[in-house]
Amino acid sequence: MINFVRVRRYPVGVELVEAGADARVWAPGRRRVAVAHGANAERSTELAAEPGGYFAGVIRGVGAGDRYGFRLDDDAKIYPDPASRAQPDGPHGLSAIVDASQFAWTDADWRGAGPRGQVIYELHVGTPPRGRTRQRRASCRPCATWGSRSSS
């Protein structure tokens, strides 16, 4: 028996592969996860449990644009993929499989944002404990030499 190692671009979500689409979702505390797919999610592909609360498998016979969602345990509701690249019917509708290699990039001439107006460091010190406000402000004073501003 030959064991194949799956190579994924992202740790979760649905990615096209030669046989269809590789699906992986994190669903801790669930016993079973299936991918509901087809025009009306009428077909179902059970995913295999993996360590750490993940479920994964290959959905055969699907391609770019096909809709899918996840069925958790015995729940009749079909949930959208929280890691989907497309939600053509809104955030609560079925997700759509995307072929990222077919995306028509239109920003080849973009050279990035210039340094003017950029935030290069942002520090959130949180709410200081009672009596420590002055100490926190004093510790932020050296940042002013970098050109920073305090919003306290």
CA–CA separation, 54 vs 26, rounded Å?
Answer: 4
pLDDT digits (tens, 9 = 90+) for 73-100: 989 999 999 999 999 999 999 999 999 8
State the pLDDT at residue 131: 62
Domain ranges of the chain: 13-100, 117-152
State the pLDDT at residue 26: 97
> Mapping DSSP to helix (H, G, I), strand (E, B) and coil, where does residue 137 land?
helix
pTM: 0.67
CA–CA separation, 21 vs 60, rounded Å?
Answer: 7
Task: Work out the pLDDT band at 135, boundaries 50, 70, 90.
Answer: low
Is the predicted pLDDT of residue 16 greater than 90, yes or no? yes
State the pLDDT at residue 101: 86
Q: Which of 36, 32, 37 has its CA nearest to residue 49?
A: 32
| SS3 track for 81-125 | CCCCCCCCCCCCCCEECCCHHHCCCCCCCCCCCCCCCCCCCCCCC
Question: Which CATH code for domain 13-100?
Answer: 2.60.40.10
